[in-house]
């Protein structure tokens, strides 16, 4: 690949800091959680924030997002869903000067992965996504934008599956919808709607526990196994 720092730009072209921030969601105890870090450096020392940081010259925005998640929270996104939201560019959003941040939405499968503080961060926690504390920079706006997009994707794409392991029961899927939308749904209507569109493929096995065992499903359109 071409060297990047020799990029020749027109005279007045930008020397702007480019950052990424990530709103990472997961489900824990039936509630929607968002990943927050406590900043260990200025500016906004000790404030809660979304994980994120500056993009390096040789990486894509997505790679930067993955790297920051790993270094700040010790969490590996693996094959989880990651999508770009938009750039936030309010002048004054960063007291250090002109920094534009490209926000991302991540969705973690299968509960709350362990996280802990790392580079430039003293803590990393999963916080209730419907009751956010004050956040550094414009991260509250970013988090709200991310939640909004998440809800749209839930209805519109099949993003709910991304919160779950490869196979799951319908009550588990319904719990995801309820956690993200933050309201209860009718069981019969939910099943009718989800099974009606053929996004789901029933599996032979069932999941047992207390009560009647539930049928397992997986997202349709996958090869039987791999």
Partner DNA sequence: TCAAAAGTGTTAGCATTACACCCATGC
Partner DNA sequence: GCATGGGTGTAATGCTAACACTTTTGA
Smallest distance, Å, CB 84 to its own copies? 5
**30 is a contact residue toward DNA (CB under 7 A):** no
* Residue 148 touches DNA, criterion: CB under 7 A: no
Per partner kind, with CB cut-offs from 5 to 8 A, the member of its own copies, DNA, none near residue 149 is none
Stretch of 100-108, 117-125, 146-154, 164-172 contacting DNA, by CB under 7 A = 164-172
Stretch that binds DNA, among 8-16, 71-79, 81-89, 182-190 (CB under 7 A): 182-190
> If you compute the radius of gyration of the chain from its CA atoms, what whole number of angstroms results?
20
Return the structure tokens found at 121: 């961060």
Are 26 and 163 a contacting pair, CB within 8 Å? yes
Q: Which of 67, 70, 191, 218 binds DNA (CB under 7 A)?
A: 191
For residues 56 and 187, which CB has a smaller minimum distance to DNA in the complex? 187
Is there binding between residue 78 and DNA (CB under 7 A)? no
Q: Which stretches of the chain bind its own copies, using CB under 8 A?
A: 1-10, 12-18, 53-58, 60-62, 84-87, 89-92, 96-100, 102
Only segment of 10-18, 98-106, 128-136, 168-176 that touches DNA (CB under 7 A): 168-176
Residue 189 Cα distances to 154, 184, 195, 196, angstroms: 16, 12, 10, 10
- Closer CB to DNA, 74 or 190, in the complex: 190
- Which one of its own copies, DNA, none interacts with residue 60, CB within 5 to 8 A by kind? its own copies
Q: Are strands 200-207 and 214-219 parallel, antiparallel or unpaired?
A: antiparallel
Q: Measured at the alpha carbon of residue 41, what is the angle toward residues 146 and 23, in degrees to the nearest 5?
A: 10
Evaluate the omega torsion of the peptide bond into residue 43 and state whether it is cis, within 30 degrees of 0: yes
Phi–psi pair at 10, nearest 5 degrees: -55, 155
Single out the residue of 65, 152, 172 nearest to residue 110, CA to CA.
Answer: 172
Determine how β-strand 17-28 pairs with β-strand 99-107: parallel
186's tokens: 């009718």
What minimum distance in Å lies between the beta carbon of 207 and DNA?
8
- Judged by the rule CB under 7 A, the positions of this chain that interact with DNA are 169-171, 186-189, 191-193, 206, 208-215
């Amino acid at each position: 690949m071409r060297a990047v720092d020799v990029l020749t730009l027109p005279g007045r072209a930008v020397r702007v800091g480019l950052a990424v921030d990530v709103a990472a969601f997961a489900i824990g105890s039936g509630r929607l959680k968002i990943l927050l870090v406590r900043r260990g450096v200025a500016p906004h020392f000790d404030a809660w924030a979304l994980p994120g940081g500056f993009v390096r010259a040789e990486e894509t925005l997505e790679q930067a997002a993955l790297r920051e998640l790993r270094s700040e929270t010790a969490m590996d996104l693996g094959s989880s869903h990651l999508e770009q939201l938009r750039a936030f560019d309010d002048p004054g959003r960063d007291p250090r000067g002109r920094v534009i941040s490209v926000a991302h939405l991540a969705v973690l499968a299968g509960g709350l992965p362990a996280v802990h503080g790392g580079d430039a961060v003293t803590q990393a926690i999963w916080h209730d996504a419907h009751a956010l504390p004050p956040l550094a920079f414009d991260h509250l706006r970013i988090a709200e934008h991310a939640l909004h997009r998440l809800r749209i994707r839930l209805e519109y794409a099949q993003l709910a599956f991304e919160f779950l392991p490869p196979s799951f029961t319908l009550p588990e899927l319904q719990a995801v919808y309820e956690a993200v939308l933050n309201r209860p749904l009718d069981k019969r209507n939910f099943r009718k709607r989800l099974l009606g569109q053929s996004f789901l493929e029933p599996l032979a096995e069932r999941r047992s526990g207390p009560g009647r065992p539930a049928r397992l499903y997986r997202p349709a359109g996958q090869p039987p196994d791999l």
